[in-house]
Amino acid sequence: MATTDKASPRDRLLEAAAELFYRDGVSIGVEALCRSAGVSKRSMYQLFGSKDEMLAASLERRRPWYEAQITPAGTMPATPRERIRYVFERIAEASVTPGYRGCPYLAVLVELKNPEHPASAVARVVKDRLRGFFREQAEQGGAADPEVLARQLMLVFDGASARAGARIERLDDGLAARTADALMDAAGMD
């Protein structure tokens, strides 16, 4: 784990939660989390109140890092099509790294199955932001129906991420990006 002895108990818990929830799923026990973080259960409950709150805080803390990994910064790449394609190229790269388990936010939504859970709320924000990014790029690229294209791209993103995370599919052959290209072509994007 990437935590250090100098990190606060809160930071150590959030790092342990991010690592363990992603690797083992949200059903990981409080004892295992606390042991991994080197923090007592009492301290954890003083800091977060519940495991659910800690999961939500961990996901929120990782959100900027995750979004920076998959979406282009600033004006790079130049065209809306290239910016959408960039997202699919990033997940293709990530999918072949050791320990890749797919999109952590999709995994939380699937595992929890509870839209009222605080972690589900954080995960939905991340997924909605990505759909908004796709819709904005589709609008700028002249897609006939930007909202439909954004939804289609989300289906490809989530499906590719889930299949690669389950080691059913490899994405390093460009299949997800080519599928996104086909959808953009069909939508009339430049």
Domains of the chain, residue spans: 1-49, 55-186
Both structure tokens of 73: 């910064």
Would you tell me the crossing angle of helices 30-37 and 51-70 to the nearest 10 degrees? 60
pTM: 0.91
Is the pLDDT reported for residue 177 higher than 90? Answer: yes
Instruction: State the maximum Cα–Cα separation within the chain, in Å, rounded to a whole number.
Output: 57
Instruction: List Cα–Cα distances, 121 to 61, 86, 172, 182, in angstroms.
Output: 14, 26, 31, 31
What is the average pLDDT score of the chain?
Answer: 93
How far is residue 35's CA from residue 19's CA, in Å, rounded to a whole number?
13
Q: What average pLDDT does this structure show over 140-145?
A: 98
How far is residue 131's CA from residue 150's CA, in Å, rounded to a whole number?
6
Model pLDDT, residue 77: 77
Assigned CATH topology for domain 55-186: Tetracycline Repressor; domain 2 (1.10.357)
C-alpha dihedral (101, 103, 107, 109), degrees to nearest 10: 180
Confidence grade of residue 1 (pLDDT, cut at 50, 70, 90): very low
pLDDT one-digit tens code per residue, 57-95:
999 999 999 999 999 887 677 899 999 999 999 999 999
Q: What average pLDDT does this structure show over 131-149?
A: 98
Assigned CATH topology for domain 1-49: Arc Repressor Mutant, subunit A (1.10.10)
Domains 1-49 and 55-186 share a fold: no
Is the pLDDT reported for residue 40 higher than 90? Answer: yes
Q: What average pLDDT does this structure show over 129-158?
A: 98
Model pLDDT, residue 5: 56
Q: Which amino acid is at 159?
A: G
How far is residue 164's CA from residue 169's CA, in Å, rounded to a whole number?
5
Confidence grade of residue 3 (pLDDT, cut at 50, 70, 90): very low
